Structure 1
């Protein structure tokens, strides 16, 4: 029974690490432990990333320019806009927002450079808009060469807004004026589309708001920790739906939909670790949601809005909001229903949300995320103090009777049935439950796994210092001090635990912490700090109980 109890604990611990590692590998495009490598195309997207009209008509999946499968090259211009929180690069081809650098966040690969979210350097990631027609009439799209109206390109002191405007030529009897409005201190950009019918026949336009991205994970992801990268769709009815790039690539006409197709509310997003982009429109207007693979490694998620007919001489105006920024949970919740869900807690959402609420309030009091992590773990250990105490008392009793059990095993090793009966008699006499230490651990595990994902997904940890050499809780310990302490604490826990009767199992008890501790050398220091704090508190409580019960 002693061996069974220890084996159960190690199986749970081992499988947790294995499953986490496999999930990280799968999200990062690495070979998984339970199958081959995740399919991922490596060829560069060709042309402008827009499928041919024939393919688009076949699957109805993405807005295209009618009659132009390979548009002739056009000479466009780019220019940059600066605000206090972002630097945005526009292209006159479609009035497209091609690149956004967040001034207050450093790059994953170069701490001296700002974080790029919408990025054309090493990635293909753009925010596109335009019109398609319910009929065959072409309308201005993200492939229409537009002209930028002269104006300010920098948000000046004392200025709260900055406007950038594009005007299209006449296409299919329509002209488009696209206006971007930036706000001081905000990661949202208001985007207004004004479509004027300059022809002689009514127009039946549909506005599309689209995010185009390659399937490469952000540069900071490794085989040891990674999170979801890809499109997401939200509606009040279906809630938050993540869509994997590989699922989009494999999807065929006639297959079950990967996400909700139509609604009168909701938004679309592209999600990556810590950051997201999203198109938001006011609720109550009909919309369609579309995801498509449009190149070897290029994908889109689009929100398409059917608009009223536009009579000759009339103008139809549509408003939308583009979010490009960090996954700050409280701020996202104020922008649109459910937008905070892009900060993904996975299965542990029910526990993770209140844990983050407590962590955030602790940080408001003490102002340091590292000490906030430590204090939150202390609070959790205090909440489970009596559960842990019962577990450690059970382990202490097991340690006290362990010499008798080992002697019994040696003496009756050829009589397993008699040995088992004698062991059960000793447990009854000493009032020992061999599995008494398991239940408290099972009860606590979901809480500590939820806290793990809170720390994993909280952008506020990015660039946040703790003490001394730990200047970024989202990065690995530069001197590996915390991982070494973590390894030593795991070995100390083995020493405090009952000795195994089987010599091979006892060796495994010492080898397992060493075998898995190397992973902590690559974990973010905030996660290692959390595990180390939990270990040290467990050791302290276990030591005191062992001392009281005379097994030390």
Structure 2
């Protein structure tokens, strides 16, 4: 196998793995589903009870989807600026005070919002049952502004629904200091003469157009859920449009993912729940969970609790919040490799306190770990480089007779004891590791707005002056020149152009990814140059020894 085929084989293999990974992410069969039904108002879940429970009355229907509004309640903690609408007591806006907006160093990142077209992203909840308040009911609150007091660890916002048929309902949000977990509690007081049998639901509503990434770096935005039986599952809006999710389980959470951030409803442990999704409009979907509360006798009361996580995909934090929530940082089928790589990367960063330096050190460690394999590959290519003039002579000797030329080449390889495939296997072994690290750097929120040095202030953003991509292109050209030159002049020109073409893509990659590839290339060049020199010296000594004989 000549150099051109070797490099093309490696690039092709790498591309196939990347395309396969992307295909799996896009075409994974949707989770357990039921056929979607046409409905005029899907925003309120149907009131069918879970297996074994009696049915309750459905909520009134209305035509189409719309977000109704009333008074707005402002809530501020050390991590949030939140807006709650008294219509439904929905969380309509969440501004994360410790995370900057995309391409900004002054404005805060807004996760939830109902007034930023085309973005619609809100968290809703309610009760299903005759006369019970849902996310269309108007609540009242004691104040319109709430702020976490100094020295206090919690902030409570209590909303009250007007009593209907003798049933009083309070909806209480509890915010916590230094936490992206919001507790939600319903207090239900049945002061009527009849028993009630309510169902509680929690859902996230999102559009299909916002937070989709760029054309060069598309990212997943869509639904997700986790159960101990099924583990982590993603559900794209496309899948939601085809079928409604309907899954009953006794554990787990359900929510919505986007690049770097997640929001998830986590019902109380041990409560049977049904995960569902619905298409609310042409570009609006909901995904949520509902659970039976149980019969509440006249004069009795009941409480039902859930948690809502809305914040960055910080794996260490999410592990403490709910089982499986850390899987929202999705590395796909390479998780078994990517997760340990991220663990090592984070440990290095905890020592050096710079994610850019941590990337460099991890790349060096990986390069050292694969040094024997890389050396075998480069040694094979160095031998092929030494044979290049002789291969050229064979081409000139046999002209267009490819069969004779192939026979002569195999004889030459046999005489020189060179395996033309010797450089392929070591490279193929390393490809999954390099792809894993690629996904680690692409998906880690820790890289977002993380400075490196000099002009690199955000490892998740494009290098503003394109210095790293240009250096990356230069290293690829150097690598090409260190490899054996193809015997075909056209192929040689193609091999010279390919680094430039591939470098263009790196102009649109985050700086952290380009830094990783740049360091890897520099180390590869140093190793390949050393092996080429050693091979050349060994060949020269061999020729000198043969000449003396």
Alignment TM-score, normalising by the size of structure 2: 0.89
**How far did 1:488 drift?**
0.7
SS of the aligned residue for 1:224 comes to: coil
**How far did 1:189 drift?**
0.9
Is residue 141 from structure 1 mapped to residue 134 from structure 2 by the alignment?
A: yes
SS of the aligned residue for 2:186 comes to: strand
Among 172, 183, 189, the residue aligned to 1:196: 189
Among 92, 100, 105, the residue aligned to 2:99: 105
**1:236 counterpart residue number:** 228
**Shift in alpha-carbon separation, 1:376–1:312, aligned structure 2, 3 A:** same
Write out per-residue CA displacement over residues 434-493 of structure 1, whole angstroms, 9 at most, x where no aligned residue: 111110110000001000000111101111100100000000000000000011111111
Is the contact between residue 81 and residue 95 of structure 2 (CA under 8 Å) also seen in structure 1? yes
Among 152, 160, 166, the residue aligned to 1:167: 160
Displaced runs of 4 or more, over 3 A: 13-24, 55-60, 70-75
- 1:218-229 → structure 2 map (5 Å cutoff): 218=211, 221-229=213-221
Is residue 127 from structure 1 mapped to residue 120 from structure 2 by the alignment?
A: no
Structure 2: gaps spanning 5 or more residues: 28-39, 51-55, 540-549
**1:45 counterpart residue number:** none
**Shift in alpha-carbon separation, 1:391–1:170, aligned structure 2, 3 A:** same
**1:211 counterpart residue number:** 204
SS of the aligned residue for 1:351 comes to: helix
- 1:138-537 → structure 2 map (5 Å cutoff): 138-150=131-143, 153-218=146-211, 221-251=213-243, 258=245, 261-537=247-523
**2:6 counterpart residue number:** 5
**Shift in alpha-carbon separation, 1:212–1:64, aligned structure 2, 3 A:** farther
Structure 1 Cα separation of the partners of residues 329 and 46 of structure 2: 32
**1:33 counterpart residue number:** none
- 1 or 2, which has the higher strand percentage? 2
**Shift in alpha-carbon separation, 1:127–1:313, aligned structure 2, 3 A:** same
Write out per-residue CA displacement over residues 163-199 of structure 1, whole angstroms, 9 at most, x where no aligned residue: 1010001235422101111111111111111112132
**2:31 counterpart residue number:** none
**How far did 1:510 drift?**
1.1
**How far did 1:8 drift?**
1.5
Is residue 51 from structure 1 mapped to residue 37 from structure 2 by the alignment?
A: no
**2:35 counterpart residue number:** none
**Shift in alpha-carbon separation, 1:216–1:171, aligned structure 2, 3 A:** farther
**Shift in alpha-carbon separation, 1:291–1:190, aligned structure 2, 3 A:** same
Is the contact between residue 89 and residue 100 of structure 1 (CA under 8 Å) also seen in structure 2? yes
Is the contact between residue 173 and residue 197 of structure 1 (CA under 8 Å) also seen in structure 2? yes
Structure 1: gaps spanning 5 or more residues: 28-48, 253-257
Is the contact between residue 47 and residue 59 of structure 2 (CA under 8 Å) also seen in structure 1? no
Structure 2 Cα separation of the partners of residues 58 and 489 of structure 1: 63
Alignment TM-score, normalising by the size of structure 1: 0.89
